[in-house]
Amino acid sequence: MQYSTILRYLFLGVFNGFVVYLVPLTIAFESWFLLIITIIITLLVNLTYATNRLKPLKWITPGMIFLLSFVVFPAAYSFYVSFTNWSTGHILTKQQAIERLEDLTYTKDDQRGVEFDLYVLQDQNLEYYFLADLDNENLLFGKAVQENEFNAIDFANHEPSFKNSDGEILIPDNLYLLSGREQIANSSQLQELSLLVNKNTRIQLYNISVFGASSGRLLSAQQKYSYIAETDTLYDNVNDSACTLGNRGNFICNGQTIDPGWRINVGTENYQRIADDERFRGPLRIVTLWTFQFAFFAVFLTFFVGLLLSVSLNKDKLKFQKIYRSIYILPYAIPGFISILVFKGLLNPDFGLVNDWFGPLYELFNIEPINWFRTKESSRAAVLLVNTWLGFPYMFLITTGALQSIPNELLEAAKVDGATPRQSFWRITFPLLLVAISPLLIGAFAFNFNNFTLIFLLTSGGPPIVGADVAVGYTDILISFTYDLAIAGGRGYQFGLAASVTTIIFLIVLFISAVSFRYSKRLERVYGNL
Amino acid sequence: MVIYKFMKWFREFGWRHLIGLIFAIISLYPILYVVTNSFADFANLSNSKLIPDGFTTKHYQSLTGDPLIPYYKWLFNTYKIAGIAGFLNVLLGTFAAFAFARLKFKGRRVGLITLVLVQMFPSFLAFVAIYLLFFQIGDVAPFIGLGTHIGLIFVYLGGSIGFNSWLIKGFMDTIPTSLDEAAKVDGATDFQIFYKIIAPLSRPIIVVLFVITFIGIYSDYILAAIFLKDANLYTVALGINIVFMDDFSNEWGSIAAASVIAATPIAVLFLFFQKQITGGLTAGSIKG
């Protein structure tokens, strides 16, 4: 056997071993989509590398795995999620939600209701310990902890050595017994503490006594809900009543929806909300319109400035051309997020650089300095202003390239025919330039259509649209709006709804791409000979 | 006469210099402002100005030592993630490109077109699904789930591999096939042809695509933001925005210093490869 063959089978063995480890886990967590991805990729890998027959695939498969897993599948998954109510309160699967509900407990006084002596102790680190004298078989001692530490601490131990044969309590040297007065002084803290007896039972300080020992009491935690598999319902142990199955992926007990629920398929509900719910549809309309406006003006302004500069500098014998060019590239060379964050500071109304610049203008027209991020118009202007600074170098570079590729004979011929410079620019240079770079302009439009970083870092979408049902602002574009909906809007996670907006974005990008494809095809036919 | 001469000069050259100068100032001013501010001795944004009163390196010093602001850790994380993802990206992309450029097989054309079509949708568009997917992967295989660099690197890998394969393939097409045919006659295997001939000759495009991919990942915000929640794992973009921008007026000096450190190597890298990058850009890709 060849060396490479052994290596191949070794790789396949490790890979399949990993899959064998993963599959039961995906089933256990009910991650069906993950299971499907795993199976498809496993088939692909085995098909490719088990035999020597599919040579091209061997080269393509590694890259294809990542392209499939993290670009193609997420797109499909996004579509699936848009038909669910996956959101805060409906994050889990049904099985997980039931497990979570069955773990919930409520505390009631123990049936025995017995009070017993409880001693409060402290060690050198001022940590509290409880010693509970229940009866001779149960002299329980352990660290007293707050509720959030219950899982981190061991249960109390029976410590007969803390009592001598006469029934008197003996305190070890390293511990200090708090007096009644000291307990009263710290009572608010002490009342929060518990000594854990077992999983469901704990001991709390009940009554502090200034004379003699304080008393404690047993509390036991009971399971709050039990799941009844036969009827697929929940039983409420607190109120001794049966719950019903709600229709939105949850149980309803005594007329109240129980949290957590689970995610279910809700059909086209999210899309209906987009179409019908005015409190959602209204803001979405504003956002969609602005997304198109922003992308259009972003391209227009950067193109305008870029073209202005390239036309100005495209002149023989013009001095300093190289210096100008290398300066214009600088804004483009700096990572976008840095420039955006810096501009956020510079646009600060009170002491930002931009308002310093505009200072003379403000005085001339006797107007208040602009608070850039407060109103709809000014924040939109700020977004476009910053984007122009960021984007004009790109347009400058590509228009310069296109200008230089226009054959000189054409312009000279026009000159001979008596065309003015203006005529030859608008009739010859500009149309040819547009043809050459229109695919790039469409690309820039698509890029700005989803320019999340600019919007999110500069304005976070603000200022907010008042009266909207969701967190959304006047400079939000579709992708940043989706981000707020899904993750960062502060109104919980709304994955299902966000995914349905994602579908809209996908459709628009598809449309832009199709236009670009057809357009460049047509141009190729028309201007193919140039 | 002098005025006439000046008018003539202005009509031909002067207005070009005027426009050129205005935009040179607009381009440079914010950059210079940040650089001088990073060395300036001031309390906050309100008394910052272009030419600072005093010189100090205190803003740079403020970036080290504070465990709540692990700036250099962010920088390291970013270089690590962008470096690994960029490297694997062009490596796997070169493999795929080789198959498309040199091996004949059924579905080759369809495969190529699919690559371009898929890559028309930036991978971050489906970030909701990516988030949920990795949320579940985290249950099954915690070392790849949300909050890990590995998971993030995987997502970046998918993000531009199709496009890179396409561009590398285009470059490989320009390498004469007579070279590998000669090698084949001498008994070279596909792998040897790839390793000894095609890959070395494709190095220019591979290097440029690595740089473009690296800068793109370096500048990404949205995917890093959905993945990383622990301040020690942040990338530079996340760190500066989340930790500093809360109080950006008072932190202005630190922001300026952090920006200079984060931007300078990338700007130098970009300027160094400027010609090739803009060549690649006009082929259709756009820097993030």
Which residue of B9, B110, B128, B156 to mutate against A (max A Cβ within 10 Å)? Answer: B128
> Which residue in A has a C-alpha nearest to residue B14's C-alpha?
A318
Report phi then psi at A221, rounded to 5.
-95, 135
* Cβ contact A320–B20 (<8 Å): yes
Domain boundaries, chain B: 2-60, 66-282
Task: Give the highest mean pLDDT range of A62-66, A302-306, A524-528, B252-256.
Answer: A302-306
> Which residue in A has a C-alpha nearest to residue B116's C-alpha?
A513
Minimum-distance CB partner of B126 among A329, A331, A502: A502
Distance in angstroms (rounded) separating the CA atoms of residues B110 and A365: 62
Q: Are A442 and A515 in contact (CB under 8 A)?
A: yes
Q: Does A365 touch chain B (CB under 8 A)?
A: no
Q: Does B96 touch chain A (CB under 8 A)?
A: yes
B242 contacts in A (CB within 8 Å)?
Answer: none
Predicted TM-score (pTM) of the model is 0.83
Domains identified in chain A and CATH numbers = 3-81 (1.20.58), 105-223 (no CATH), 273-527 (1.10.3720.10)
* Cβ contact B241–A352 (<8 Å): no
B226 contacts in A (CB within 8 Å)?
Answer: 487
| A410-430 per-position pLDDT tens digit | 888 888 888 888 888 888 888
Candidates A501, A506, A500, A466; CA nearest to A480 is: A501
Distance in angstroms (rounded) separating the CA atoms of residues A397 and A330: 12
A444 contacts in B (CB within 8 Å)?
Answer: 286
- Min distance B65 CA to chain A CA atoms (Å): 23
B274 contacts in A (CB within 8 Å)?
Answer: 329, 333
| A159-204 per-position pLDDT tens digit | 777 777 777 777 888 888 888 888 888 888 888 888 888 777 788 8
Residues of chain B with pLDDT below 50 are: 283-288
Distance in angstroms (rounded) separating the CA atoms of residues A296 and A289: 11
Distance in angstroms (rounded) separating the CA atoms of residues A343 and B30: 8
DSSP-based three-state secondary structure for A506:
helix
Chains A & B: contacts with CB separation below 8 Å: 277
Q: What is the pLDDT of residue B288?
A: 38
Q: Does A45 touch chain B (CB under 8 A)?
A: no
Which of residues 424 through 463 in chain A touch B, CB cutoff 8 A?
Answer: 439-440, 443-444, 446-447, 450, 452-453, 456-457
Say what the ipTM of the complex is. 0.90
* Cβ contact A335–B222 (<8 Å): no
Render the burial of B169-201: b for 16+ CB within 10 Å, e for the rest: bebbeeeeeeebeebeeeebebeebbeebbbee
| A452-492 per-position pLDDT tens digit | 999 999 998 878 888 777 888 999 999 999 998 888 766 78
Q: How does residue A345 score in pLDDT terms, banded at 50, 70 and 90?
A: confident
Which of residues 177 through 196 in chain B touch A, CB cutoff 8 A?
Answer: 190
> Which residue in B has a C-alpha nearest to residue A312's C-alpha?
B16
Other CB atoms within a 10 A radius of the CB of residue A294 amount to 22
* Cβ contact A77–B26 (<8 Å): no
Minimum-distance CB partner of A334 among B19, B225, B263: B263
Domain B66-282 is found in CATH 1.10.10.10: no
Q: What is the pLDDT of residue A524?
A: 59
Q: Are A128 and A122 in contact (CB under 8 A)?
A: yes
In this structure, are strands A241-242 and A244-245 parallel, antiparallel, or unpaired? unpaired
Distance in angstroms (rounded) separating the CA atoms of residues A143 and A133: 15
- Min distance A500 CA to chain B CA atoms (Å): 10
